[in-house]
Structure 1
Amino acid sequence: MRRRRLGLELRRLRESARLTGDQVIDHLGWASASKLSRLENGRSRPDPRDVRDLLELYGVTGPLRDQLEAITREAGDVRSWLRSYRAMTPRQRGFAELEAGCADIREYSPFVVPGLLQTREYARTRIISFRPLGNHSGDPEKSDVDDPEIEVEARMARQQRLLREDDSPRYAAVLEEAALSRRAGPPEVVRAQLNQLCKLAALPNVTLQVLTTNARIANWYMPHTGFSLYRFADPQDPETLAIEGHSTNQVLNDRDELDRYTVVFDWLQSAALSPEDTLSWLAEMAGRGHGDPGRAAPSRTPASPPVQRRRTERLTGQ
Structure 2
Amino acid sequence: MSSDPIPIMRLARPAAGPATTTTAAAIMLGLSVKAHREAVGLRQQELAKSIHVSTTTVCRLEKGEKSPQRRTVEGAADALKVDNKTRDLWRVLVARTEEPEWFQSRFADLTPDWLKRLLGLESMAIDLTLYDVRLVSGLLQTPEYAACVIRTGLHRREWDGEKMELRLAQRVERQQRVLGQAEPPTAIFLMDESVLVRRAGPDEVMRAQMVHMRELADLPHIVIRFVLLDAMIAGNEAAMAGSMAQLKFGSDGPPDMVYAEHYGSADYHVKPERSHDERARPWSQKDMEYESHLQLLLRIQGEACASPQQSRRMLEEAIRRYS
- Give the TM interval when normalised to the shorter protein: 0.7 to 0.9
- Of stretches 206-215 and 146-155 in structure 1, the one that deviates more from structure 2 is 146-155
Contact 2:191 / 2:227 at 8 angstroms: preserved in 1? yes
AA partner of residue 221 (structure 2): N
Deviation sequence 1:157-195 (CA, Å, 0-9, x none): 111134437311111011001223235444333222212
Q: What TM-score, normalized by structure 2, do the two folds share?
A: 0.73
Aligned to 2:317: 284
Contact 2:129 / 2:247 at 8 angstroms: preserved in 1? yes
Aligned to 1:213: 229
More contact order relative to length (CA 8 Å, sep ≥ 6): 2
RMSD: 3.0
Q: Does 1:147 pair with 2:178?
A: no
Q: Does 1:156 pair with 2:156?
A: no
Within 1, Cα distance between the matches of 2:298 and 2:258?
A: 15
Q: 2:37 aligned to 6, 14, 20, which one?
A: 14
Q: 1:273 aligned to 306, 310, 323, which one?
A: 306
Q: Does 1:259 pair with 2:291?
A: yes
Aligned to 2:91: 69
Contact 1:174 / 1:208 at 8 angstroms: preserved in 2? yes
Aligned to 2:137: 114
Q: 2:244 aligned to 197, 210, 227, which one?
A: 227
Shift of 1:238: 0.9
Within 2, Cα distance between the matches of 1:248 and 1:165?
A: 28
Within 1, Cα distance between the matches of 2:90 and 2:181?
A: 31
Within 2, Cα distance between the matches of 1:155 and 1:95?
A: 13
Q: Which runs of 5+ in 2 are unaligned?
A: 1-23, 156-161, 273-287
AA partner of residue 57 (structure 1): A
Q: Does 1:50 pair with 2:104?
A: no
Contact 1:169 / 1:205 at 8 angstroms: preserved in 2? yes
Contact 1:229 / 1:239 at 8 angstroms: preserved in 2? yes
AA partner of residue 67 (structure 2): R
Number of residue pairs aligned between Structure 1 and Structure 2: 273
Please state whether the residue corresponding to 1:182 is helix, strand or coil: coil
Please state whether the residue corresponding to 1:210 is helix, strand or coil: strand
AA partner of residue 132 (structure 2): S
Shift of 1:22: 4.2
> Quick one: structure 1 residues 65 and 166, their matched pair in 2 at CA, closer, same or farther if it must change by over 3 Å?
same
Please state whether the residue corresponding to 2:120 is helix, strand or coil: helix
Q: Does 1:247 pair with 2:280?
A: no
Q: Which runs of 5+ in 1 are unaligned?
A: 133-145, 291-318
AA partner of residue 266 (structure 2): N
Aligned to 1:41: 63
Contact 1:106 / 1:230 at 8 angstroms: preserved in 2? yes
Shift of 1:112: 1.8
Q: 1:238 aligned to 252, 255, 261, which one?
A: 255
Within 2, Cα distance between the matches of 1:90 and 1:107?
A: 20
Within 2, Cα distance between the matches of 1:161 and 1:22?
A: 39
Please state whether the residue corresponding to 1:124 is helix, strand or coil: helix
Deviation sequence 1:118-169 (CA, Å, 0-9, x none): 111222232232347xxxxxxxxxxxxx912201111111111344373111
Within 2, Cα distance between the matches of 1:168 and 1:233?
A: 14
Within 1, Cα distance between the matches of 2:169 and 2:216?
A: 19
Shift of 1:233: 4.6
Aligned to 1:169: 185
Within 2, Cα distance between the matches of 1:151 and 1:165?
A: 21
Contact 1:105 / 1:229 at 8 angstroms: preserved in 2? yes
> Quick one: structure 1 residues 202 and 72, their matched pair in 2 at CA, closer, same or farther if it must change by over 3 Å?
same
Shift of 1:7: 1.8
Within 1, Cα distance between the matches of 2:198 and 2:204?
A: 11
Q: What TM-score, normalized by structure 1, do the two folds share?
A: 0.74
